[in-house]
Structure 1
Amino acid sequence: MNILIGYKKCSTCKNIEKLLKEKNISYEYREIDKELLSVDELKKIMKRANIDVLKLFNTSGMKYRELGLKDKKNEMTEEEILELLSTDGMLVKRPILLKDDKALVGPQVKKYLESL
């Protein structure tokens, strides 16, 4: 089963939902603000998407700016970053599509769906 992890008020997430429906791809929706990702889930997403921990940050989010993470993140360990991301879904890049043994994060989701 495909799982789309997103935020219901996010226009990008809405567009991805629309694409999934247009392509008749079934999925479950997980609201990232209501059901936080655990450190283990974040590690699995990183591995399955083959991305660095810094790519999991929602760098355009208000919370990211409020916390001054642009400057702080490079001084944090991977574990510290994962712990922080697991406390607030708004810090996590979205959408995330979990498909089979793969994970797609952010712009990767749209590129993948458009290639189908």
Structure 2
Amino acid sequence: MTEPLFICYARCSTCARARAWLDGHGIAYRERDIREDNPNADELAFWHRASGLPIRRFFNTSGQLYRAMRLKDRLPGLSDAEAIELLATDGMLVRRPLLVVPGADGDSPTVLVGFREAQWEQTLVRD
């Protein structure tokens, strides 16, 4: 298995906890700063499909930009494609951390949105 892709923001405390968890479990990963290298629409669409989650789960609903753009009211009226295009405009709109774990033998990746320790443990820790 190739290394998971850890997409984070350096000043995010949740990302720091997730990084410490990965390091503490000896899990190698590639890190990508979401502010410096925002995911593009194709990546987001692929990860959205692979995750099986509703697109609204990819939005950083507690972020200042989300509130300033009044996305709580706008988001329900957007198609998934429109929401993905919007997410691709600014990394601060994207919920973090994102962890993209490559699938085995060409399977779809597992995409974890946000840091839920039990979910990460189930996905990444092998006995």
TM class by smaller structure: over 0.9
CA contact (8 A) 2:58 2:95 kept: yes
Larger Rg: 2
- State whether structure 2 residue 110 is matched by structure 1 residue 102: yes
Instruction: Show the counterpart of 1:20.
Output: 22
Unmatched tracts of structure 2, length 5 or more: 103-108
Correspondent of 1:75 among 65, 74, 77: 77
SS in 2 for 1:104: strand
Correspondent of 2:92 among 81, 90, 108: 90
CA contact (8 A) 1:20 1:113 kept: no
Correspondent of 1:112 among 92, 103, 119: 119
**TM-score, with length taken from structure 1:** 0.93
| Counterpart-to-counterpart distance in 2, 1:47 and 1:79 | 11
| Counterpart-to-counterpart distance in 1, 2:75 and 2:119 | 28
**TM-score, with length taken from structure 2:** 0.85
| Equivalent residue pairs, number | 115
Matching residue's letter, 2:13: S
Question: Residues 6-58 of structure 1, C-alpha deviation per residue, up to 9 Å, x if partnerless?
Answer: 10100000000000000000001000011011111011111221111111110
User: Where does structure 1 differ by over 6 angstroms across 4 or more consecutive aligned residues?
Assistant: none
Instruction: Show the counterpart of 2:59.
Output: 57
Unmatched tracts of structure 1, length 5 or more: none
Matching residue's letter, 1:61: G
SS in 2 for 1:29: strand
What percentage of residue pairs aligned between the two structures are identical?
A: 36
Matching residue's letter, 1:8: A
